[in-house]
Amino acid sequence: MPEIDLVTVTAADGRDLLAAAETGWSRPVPHCPGWDAAGLVGHMGAILAWMAQIVTTGEAVSRRDRETPPHGHAALAAWYSAHLDRTVDLLTATPADSPTWTFSSLGERRAGWWRRRLAVELAIHRWDAQHAAADGTALARAVHGDVAVAGIQEFLTEFLPGLLTQPGVTGLAGTLHLHATDEPGDWQADLGADSADDSDTRPADTDTTIQGTRSDLLLWLTNRGPAPSITVAGRESTAAAWTQLRR
């Protein structure tokens, strides 16, 4: 999995999320139903504080015990920025192999897991905030390629198996193949199995192929598409049914 530069990539995404929110605190964020820009910043600030507490102690911390964002936009911005700086600095300084609790469905219990999780979470929500600020008339900045690859791999291995077993999910079957068009990258998943893997070639029995940039593939997986670069080949019903999968 790519090594992600937390200081120059993740911190930049975090700052840009706030900058987009500050252009309209009460603006709805379409890809985060029920949240406006202030709500997104509050959510992400609480997540940053929660991650830092877990990595510092190595112990599980209930999501119910996350910090409550302050009232007032100036206080909210300052609180969020302080947690962003602290958490990025902490994860940068903590060896990736340091043991700590995670919610990994694969049983990975090390600080490096949180580095990836933070980078992907911030990148996607930065995109959400920028897309909302553009009122849907312009694309937000693409997700950094290495972060997008980490997010694709994380989604397919950590989250997809559980999402496929959720009640009411129908119409998803066969083999899904993702092909990156901007840099080498191929992933495949059996939608009827609890696993996904990397592959250098498209299997002959692939049912659905999604092609696009690494950024757009991650955004498609997380239901923030379709983007201009995305093309679908094979069983188009799979792409249509994908919107059922919500994290």
Q: Is residue 233 part of a domain?
A: yes
Per-residue pLDDT, 241: 87
Q: 28 in a domain, yes or no?
A: yes
Asked whether residue 159 is assigned to any structural domain, the reply reads: no
Clarify whether residues 84 and 174 are in a common domain: no
The boundaries of the domain holding residue 224 are 167-244
Q: Cis link prior to 167 (omega < 30° from 0)?
A: no
Q: How many CB atoms lie within 10 A of CB 49?
A: 21
147 part of a folded domain: no
Question: Are 22 and 128 within one domain?
Answer: yes
pLDDT, one tens digit for every residue, the chain (247 residues): 566 777 889 999 999 999 999 999 999 999 999 999 999 999 999 999 999 999 999 999 998 889 999 999 999 999 999 999 999 999 999 999 999 999 999 999 999 999 999 999 999 999 999 999 986 555 689 999 999 999 999 999 999 999 998 888 888 888 899 999 999 999 999 887 544 444 444 444 568 999 999 999 999 999 997 777 899 998 888 888 888 887 6
Q: Are strands 186-190 and 196-198 parallel, antiparallel or unpaired?
A: antiparallel
b vs e for 110-135, b when ≥16 Cβ sit within 10 Å of the residue's Cβ? bbbbbbbbbbbbbbbbbbbbbbbbee
Say yes or no: 176 and 62 in one domain: no
Report yes or no on 214 lying in a domain: yes
Q: What's the rounded Cα separation, in Å, for the pair 115 and 132?
A: 26
Positive or negative torsion for Cα 125, 15, 115, 140? positive
Number of domains within the chain: 2
Looking at residue 137, what is its pLDDT?
57
> Considering the domain boundaries, does residue 155 fall inside one?
no
CB 189 within 8 A of CB 173: no
Q: Domain boundary residue among 107, 133, 159?
A: 133
Same structural domain, 17 and 65: yes
Same domain, 129 and 21: yes
* Residue 196 parent element (H or E): strand 196-198
Residue 84 lies in a domain: yes
Q: What does DSSP say about strands 196-198 and 208-212: parallel, antiparallel, or unpaired?
A: unpaired
Question: What's the CATH number where 71 sits?
Answer: 1.20.120.450
CATH code of the domain in which 215 resides: 3.30.1050.10
